[in-house]
Amino acid sequence: MVSTRSWRNGSAAERDFPVERVSDLVAEDDTFVWIDYTDPSAADLEHVEVELGIHALAVEDAVERGQRPKLDRYRDSLFLVVYDIAGRNADGSVVVHEVKAFVTPRALVTIHGADFDIGEVSSRLDANADQADHGVPWLVWGLLDAVVDHASAVVEDIEQDIDELEDDLFERGNPREQQIQRRSFALRKGLGVIRRLVVPTKDSVASLLHGDAETIADGIRPYFRDVEDHLVSIADSADQLRDAVSSVLDTNLNLASNRQNTVMKKVTSWAAIIAIPTAITGFFGQNVTFPGEGQWGGLFVSVALIVVSSLVLYRVFKHRDWL
């Protein structure tokens, strides 16, 4: 599926015109176009290659899925790959959508799957229509700004989950406390994915600002700097949150070790208490003659020794907080 839009003299002009008209429109003064493809075939992109003179290698990369985030510069165009971090699944994994774009002086061609909401980009552009006189860079900004806002929302959501994770650390008996290890690894994995996608995108935006797209006028540069600042903030937050998750994992292991030590102390203490009666009854059960053998006095002495020694040991261990 393909949709098209054009602007002339900073104002919206046409919609849904044939791709075959693109070369004629971009030849007009103060006119630029946006072509949006949803799951295009190689044949669909051949039309764009002919109409806009896109490099064949860029078209080849656009057809293949799983490209890394990047900005490739060709003679008359740029090829941009970004990932929309849309949210998270129920298991905590990050949902990402691959978005590619050809950028020429008079046209932007976006390529994505059906799972990416291009309508949000369009709405963002309509809300900032006063910047349309900046041309194609304005279109590129609208795409990048939408992607960055989604990533920011996901990072904030992960930060809230980490706060809940830290609270659950000390909630003994809570079912959520028993899943801390699994939840921590899921969060850490998600943050790794975010950082792996955001850092190259930050480099691409920095490249745009520092000369890869000479058509970016001074009036639109502050908007790109704002996007770059958000990407830097997201990358830094991802690093800090990964450290926080590592701290949660370390704390959880330390708490488990402490609980194990407490259990071992209790087991050792009770074993020591039980060992005294065992030793006394073993002594009185020996097959030799001793004072009190076969008499009630011997029984009373052995019982008294068992009770007194057990109570003494119990008080000692209780005082040392072993029981």
Q: What is the pLDDT of residues 101-113, one digit of tens each?
A: 999 888 899 999 9
Residue 189 is part of a domain; what is its CATH number?
A: 3.30.460.20
Task: Give the per-residue pLDDT at 146.
Answer: 93
User: pLDDT (tens digit, 9 = 90+) per residue, 179-221?
Assistant: 777 888 888 899 999 999 999 999 888 888 876 545 566 678 8
Compute the C-alpha angle 238/244/247, nearest 5°.
145
Q: Using an 8 Å Cβ cutoff, are 169 and 251 in contact?
A: yes
Q: Do 112 and 64 lie in a common domain? A: yes
Task: Give the per-residue pLDDT at 110.
Answer: 92
Residue predicted with more confidence, 157 or 44? 157
**145-168: average pLDDT:** 89
Tokens 């943050």, residue located:
191
Q: Do 241 and 127 lie in a common domain? A: yes
Q: Do 65 and 186 lie in a common domain? A: yes
Task: Give the per-residue pLDDT at 289.
Answer: 58
Percent of the chain with pLDDT over 70: 86
Q: Do 127 and 226 lie in a common domain? A: yes
Q: 97: pLDDT confidence band, cut at 50, 70 and 90? A: very high
Q: Do 78 and 101 lie in a common domain? A: yes
Q: How many domains does the chain have?
A: 2
Q: Do 41 and 118 lie in a common domain? A: yes
Cα–Cα distance, 289 to 272 (Å, whole number)? 28
User: pLDDT (tens digit, 9 = 90+) per residue, 306-322?
Assistant: 777 777 777 776 766 66
Q: Do 245 and 273 lie in a common domain? A: no
Q: Do 82 and 200 lie in a common domain? A: yes
Q: Do 10 and 76 lie in a common domain? A: yes
Residue 244 domain boundaries = 2-256
Taking residue 96's Cβ as centre, other Cβ atoms within 10 Å add up to 19
CA nearest neighbour of 49 among 38, 37, 32, 31: 37
Tokens 């700004």, residue located:
145
Residues 6 or more apart whose CB falls under 8 angstroms from that of 67 comprise 61, 81, 98, 100
Cα–Cα distance, 171 to 188 (Å, whole number)? 21
In this structure, which long-range contacts are made by residues 166-174, counting pairs with CB atoms below 8 Å and at least 24 apart in sequence?
A: 166/244, 166/248, 169/248, 169/251, 169/252, 169/255, 170/255
Q: Using an 8 Å Cβ cutoff, are 158 and 244 in contact?
A: no
Residue predicted with more confidence, 297 or 254? 254
pLDDT reading at 304 higher than 80: no
Domain boundary among 256, 276, 299: 256
Residue 7: strand pairing partners: 12, 32
Q: Using an 8 Å Cβ cutoff, are 88 and 14 in contact?
A: no
Q: Using an 8 Å Cβ cutoff, are 37 and 1 in contact?
A: yes
Angle (deg, nearest 10), helices 221-284 and 136-168: 20
Domain boundary among 232, 256, 280: 256
Q: 266: pLDDT confidence band, cut at 50, 70 and 90? A: confident
Report the DSSP pairing between strands 107-112 and 31-38.
parallel
Q: Do 261 and 199 lie in a common domain? A: no
Task: Give the per-residue pLDDT at 101.
Answer: 92
Q: 290: pLDDT confidence band, cut at 50, 70 and 90? A: low
Q: Do 233 and 277 lie in a common domain? A: no
User: pLDDT (tens digit, 9 = 90+) per residue, 58-81?
Assistant: 888 888 888 899 998 888 888 999
Task: Give the per-residue pLDDT at 99.
Answer: 94
Task: Give the per-residue pLDDT at 215.
Answer: 57
Residue predicted with more confidence, 4 or 217? 4
**221-243: average pLDDT:** 90
Task: Give the per-residue pLDDT at 42.
Answer: 84
pLDDT reading at 5 higher than 70: yes
Q: Do 185 and 67 lie in a common domain? A: yes
Task: Tell me which range, 23-27, 150-154, 186-190, is most confidently predicted by mean pLDDT.
Answer: 150-154
Token digits of residue 174: 């809570």
SS (H, E, C) the chain: CEEEEEEECCEEEEECCCHHHHHHHHCCCCEEEEEEEECCCHHHHHHHHHHHCCCHHHHHHHHCCCCCCEEEECCCCEEEEEEEEEEECCCCCEEEEEEEEEECCCEEEEEECCCCCHHHHHHHHHHCHHHHHHCHHHHHHHHHHHHHHHHHHHHHHHHHHHHHHHHHCCCCCCCCHHHHHHHHHHHHHHHHHHHHHHHHHHHHHHHHHHHHCCCCCCCCHHHHHHHHHHHHHHHHHHHHHHHHHHHHHHHHHHHHHHHHHHHHHHHHHHHHHHHHHHHHHHHHCCCCCCCCCCCHHHHHHHHHHHHHHHHHHHHHHHHCCCC
What mean pLDDT, rounded, does the chain reach? 82
Residue predicted with more confidence, 221 or 288? 221
Domain boundary among 256, 282, 307: 256
